[in-house]
Amino acid sequence: MNILVPIKSVMDVELNIRVKDGRVVEEGINYILSKWDENAVEGALQIKEQVGAGEVTVVSVGPDRAGESLRKALAMGADKAIHVNDPAAEGSDSLGIAKILAAVARKGAYDLILTGKQAQDTDQGATGPILAALLDWPLAVNVQSIAADAPSKLTVQRLGHAGKEVLEVTLPAVLTANDSLNEPRLASLRGIMQAKKKPFEALKLADLGIAPGDVGAAGARVQVVEILPPAGRAAGKKFEGEAEEITRQVVALLADEAKIFA
Amino acid sequence: MPKVLIVAETKGGAVRKPTLEVLSKARAAGLPTAAVLIGGGVKGRADALAGQGAATVYVADDASLADFSLDRYAAAIQDAAQRAGATQIWLSVSEMTKALAPALAGRMDGAYVSDALALEIAGDELTVTRPAMATKVLQKVKFAKPGLRIVSIRSGAFDVTPAQPKAATVVDLPLPPADTRVVLKQVLQEETGEVDLGEAAMVVSVGRGVKGPEGVELVRPLAKLLGAGFGSSRAVVDSGWMPYAAQVGQTGRVVTPDVYVAIGISGAIQHLAGMSGSKLIVAVNKDPDAPIFSVADYGIVGDLFKVVPVMIAEIKKHKG
């Protein structure tokens, strides 16, 4: 089972994010492997272990810092890394990224593409579904469990509109990972050492047969014009004291001040 | 002049409120609009869509379409969009459209922006304001080039304009072929069928502080009393005390009710991402430093097992 895991290096959103002059302030920002992509790496490793054969290849489209996330995935146990590191790819929208990933996918012989359900910076969840459409592969998003118990089919549990769905998905397919899929393993020191010897391929757009104008900021059909701080909330009132007393107080305020029981 | 195709969603035989909100926005912006309606036994809802301004309603109605199938729904929408000559496709944000909207973008070479909180429309220009980074920032995103544009819109972003149903011009779509590559075998947990979280004016939510199913049942009457949707944090769903359909947060539903009551919820960023847009927030938590208090308009620092029964009793008095 050969699995391709697209990953993204993103700003750590757990940190204090500051906005100035229409952009996020870069100073003091850490870049990390987007957490749902980390679940995808772990998911791929577990499937490989379940099946007992195959390779896990991680791929990332991004500048130099994406290399760190790729190395982390290799240290976790991925077999190969592909880094599409081309300035002409900078500023790509989801469609652009998906086109690049589709070209990477077509260069190999993958049975499964597993990626995070959304990236921690955009929270859009577009890349996986667009990639599936470009390749004309079946898609299941927000996946909670994956079982490779039949050849060329996966039994997948996902969280959908109506509740937990059990799906049978024919390979090759694209799946996106929910964080309840697994608890990602920590890279061991041995893993980190071994990662340095694993195949790490750096590619340019030309290697994938992609014209620069098709992707990147030049080709982007969607552009972020401005970043703004979120709409603020006025400070609220906090009540401490004897439980019955303060509850009575608050309910009275909700009735008289906020008027929510009308 | 853009031509907009709106993807309608139904639930329990009625058009969902977010669909009416999206239609209302298109109408308010003066855009020519068509709608596409897919499901089993849904054709009767076409008039409600026409009443909200959809000049033509494309319908794919069959028992086999009652359950969502990404491939078949995408095929039907693509068909409708081509027949309508749509230059834009608008959808409301839901579990279904999180995959469906980008799938359409890939199939139709469309540009896609999700989770619109606001739309600026000026002729052919379209700018979307949307949350990012777990709602820590807002992004203003522009569709910079010509070509198909696909937008998903957060529920509660726009108001519903009251409208009377009107006789719809219906175009029946041929049934999309069956999808053999993704087969739904089973649904393990049905949605509870109570007040829909996404459409409720009030939501009461429980967090890890309720400690277990008994704690959940302690709070449920509060939701019932208020006619509120009953939701929870992810921790409660992961522990199996509430179904996934109840989960509010970045990895669940984003809700924007008039009133959100958070009981025993600490307010981790992933949860706040799902409810910080609520108009009024009430929080109950034992820990005075819980992050939920940073967004709560009224915060009660106390033991929810003492507070909730008092709340219920007091609210009953005020409701008379």
pLDDT (mean) for B126-147 = 94
Among B125, B152, B172, the domain boundary falls at: B172
Tell me the chain A residues in contact with residue B137 when contact means C-beta distances shorter than 8 Å.
17, 19, 24, 227-230
Checking if the pLDDT of B190 tops 70, the result is: no
How far apart are alpha carbons A204 and A213 in whole angstroms? 14
Q: Distance (Å) from the C-alpha of residue A215 to the closest C-alpha of chain B?
A: 12
Q: Which amino acid is at B255?
A: V
Per-residue three-class SS string for B192-212: CCCCCCCCCCEEEEECHHHCC
Asked if the peptide bond before residue A172 counts as cis, ω within 30 degrees of 0, the response is yes
Per the structure, the count of domains in chain B is 2
Q: Do A129 and B99 touch (CB under 8 A)?
A: yes
Closest residue on chain B to A250 (Cα): B298
Q: Do A124 and B114 touch (CB under 8 A)?
A: yes
Q: Which amino acid is at A188?
A: S
pLDDT digits (tens, 9 = 90+) for A41-67: 999 999 999 999 999 999 999 999 999
How far apart are alpha carbons A9 and A128 in whole angstroms? 16
Q: Do A94 and B70 touch (CB under 8 A)?
A: no
**Burial track A38-69 (b if 16+ CB lie within 10 A, e otherwise):** bbbbbbbbbbbeeeeebbbbbbbbbeeebbeb
pLDDT digits (tens, 9 = 90+) for A184-229: 999 999 999 999 999 999 999 999 999 989 999 999 999 999 999 9
Q: B103 and B212 share a domain? A: no
| Model pLDDT, residue A160 | 81
Q: Do A163 and B187 touch (CB under 8 A)?
A: yes
Tell me the chain A residues in contact with residue B202 when contact means C-beta distances shorter than 8 Å.
260
- Give the nearest partner residue to B314 out of A141, A169, A248, using CB atoms: A248
Domains of chain A: 3-219 (3.40.50.620)
Tell me the chain A residues in contact with residue B203 when contact means C-beta distances shorter than 8 Å.
none
- CA-nearest of A137, A136, A175 to A157 is A175
Task: Give the mean pLDDT of chain B.
Answer: 93
Among B155, B172, B189, the domain boundary falls at: B172
Q: B141 and B236 share a domain? A: no
pLDDT (mean) for B38-58 = 95
User: Which of A141, A247, A249 is best to mutate for the B interface (most B CBs within 10 A)?
Assistant: A247
Share of chain B above pLDDT 70, in %: 98
How far apart are alpha carbons B80 and B309 in whole angstroms? 52
pLDDT (mean) for B57-81 = 96
DSSP string over B77-132: HHHHHHHHT-SEEEEE--HHHHHHHHHHHHHHT-EEEEEESEEEEETTEEEEEEEE
**Residue B292 contacts by C-beta under 8 Å, 6 or more apart in sequence?**
B262, B265, B266, B267, B271, B272, B281, B283, B285, B299
CATH value at residue B265: 3.40.50.1220
A-B interface: how many C-beta pairs under 8 angstroms? 263
Q: Distance (Å) from the C-alpha of residue B51 to the closest C-alpha of chain A?
A: 27
Structure letter (DSSP) for residue B248: B
Q: Distance (Å) from the C-alpha of residue A30 to the closest C-alpha of chain B?
A: 14
Instruction: Give domain status of residue B183, yes or no.
Output: no
How far apart are alpha carbons B115 and B112 in whole angstroms? 10
pLDDT digits (tens, 9 = 90+) for A121-179: 999 999 999 999 999 999 999 999 999 988 899 999 998 877 789 999 999 999 999 98
Instruction: Give domain status of residue B50, yes or no.
Output: yes
pLDDT digits (tens, 9 = 90+) for B261-296: 999 999 999 999 999 889 999 999 999 999 999 999
Domain containing residue B268:
202-319
Q: Distance (Å) from the C-alpha of residue A28 to the closest C-alpha of chain B?
A: 16
Closest residue on chain A to B109 (Cα): A95
Report phi then psi at B31, rounded to 5. -95, 135
Closest residue on chain A to B115 (Cα): A124
Classify the C-alpha dihedral B269-B273-B279-B281 as positive or negative.
negative
Checking if the pLDDT of A118 tops 90, the result is: yes
Assigned token pair, A26: 């870069």
pLDDT digits (tens, 9 = 90+) for A1-37: 999 999 999 999 888 899 999 999 999 899 999 999 9
Instruction: Give domain status of residue B138, yes or no.
Output: yes
Q: B260 and B307 share a domain? A: yes
User: Which of B297, B303, B307 is best to mutate for the A interface (most A CBs within 10 A)?
Assistant: B297
Q: Which helix (H) or strand (E) holds A61?
A: strand A56-61
Structure letter (DSSP) for residue B312: H
- Give the nearest partner residue to A24 out of B94, B137, B181, using CB atoms: B137
Checking if the pLDDT of B191 tops 60, the result is: no
pLDDT (mean) for A77-103 = 97
Q: B22 and B124 share a domain? A: yes
Q: B20 and B108 share a domain? A: yes
| Cα-based torsion angle of the residue sequence A118, A122, A123, A128 in order, rounded to the nearest 10 degrees | -30
| Model pLDDT, residue A14 | 86
What does pTM read for this prediction?
0.91
- Give the nearest partner residue to B102 out of A130, A247, A253, using CB atoms: A130
- Give the nearest partner residue to A94 out of B112, B281, B319, using CB atoms: B112
Q: B215 and B302 share a domain? A: yes
β-pair partners for B187: A165
Tell me the chain B residues in contact with residue A145 when contact means C-beta distances shorter than 8 Å.
none
Residue B174, by phi and psi: left (phi above 0), alpha (psi -120 to 50) or beta?
beta
Tell me the chain B residues in contact with residue A125 when contact means C-beta distances shorter than 8 Å.
98-99, 102, 114
Instruction: Give domain status of residue B257, yes or no.
Output: yes
Q: B159 and B207 share a domain? A: no
Instruction: Give domain status of residue B195, yes or no.
Output: no
- Give the nearest partner residue to B314 out of A124, A223, A247, using CB atoms: A247
- Give the nearest partner residue to B139 out of A128, A163, A224, using CB atoms: A224
Q: Do A251 and B314 touch (CB under 8 A)?
A: yes
Cβ(A97)–Cβ(A205) under 8 Å?
no
Cβ(A113)–Cβ(A3) under 8 Å?
yes
Closest residue on chain B to A25 (Cα): B137
User: Which of B11, B148, B181 is best to mutate for the A interface (most A CBs within 10 A)?
Assistant: B181
Q: B13 and B157 share a domain? A: yes
- Give the nearest partner residue to B295 out of A139, A233, A248, using CB atoms: A233
Q: B168 and B207 share a domain? A: no
Task: Please give the biggest Cα pair distance in chain A.
Answer: 71
Q: Do B185 and A166 touch (CB under 8 A)?
A: yes
Q: Distance (Å) from the C-alpha of residue B142 to the closest C-alpha of chain A?
A: 5
Instruction: Give domain status of residue B312, yes or no.
Output: yes
| Model pLDDT, residue A233 | 80
Q: Do A141 and B99 touch (CB under 8 A)?
A: yes
- Give the nearest partner residue to A133 out of B103, B273, B300, using CB atoms: B103
Q: B12 and B138 share a domain? A: yes
Closest residue on chain A to B311 (Cα): A247
Counting Cβ atoms within 10 Å, is residue A9 exposed (0-12), middle (13-18) or buried (19+)?
buried
- Residue A231 banded pLDDT, cuts 50, 70, 90: confident
| Model pLDDT, residue B192 | 57
How far apart are alpha carbons A20 and B148 in whole angstroms? 32
Closest residue on chain B to A129 (Cα): B103
Closest residue on chain B to A239 (Cα): B300
Q: Do B147 and A179 touch (CB under 8 A)?
A: no
Q: Distance (Å) from the C-alpha of residue B34 to the closest C-alpha of chain A?
A: 24
Q: How many CB atoms lie within 10 A of CB A126?
A: 28
Instruction: Give domain status of residue B157, yes or no.
Output: yes
Q: B125 and B252 share a domain? A: no
CATH value at residue B57: 3.40.50.620
β-pair partners for B59: B37, B172
Tell me the chain B residues in contact with residue A140 when contact means C-beta distances shorter than 8 Å.
182
Instruction: Give domain status of residue B61, yes or no.
Output: yes
Cβ(A22)–Cβ(A14) under 8 Å?
no
Q: B138 and B48 share a domain? A: yes
pLDDT (mean) for B67-94 = 96
How far apart are alpha carbons B40 and B259 in whole angstroms? 34
Tell me the chain B residues in contact with residue A155 when contact means C-beta distances shorter than 8 Å.
185
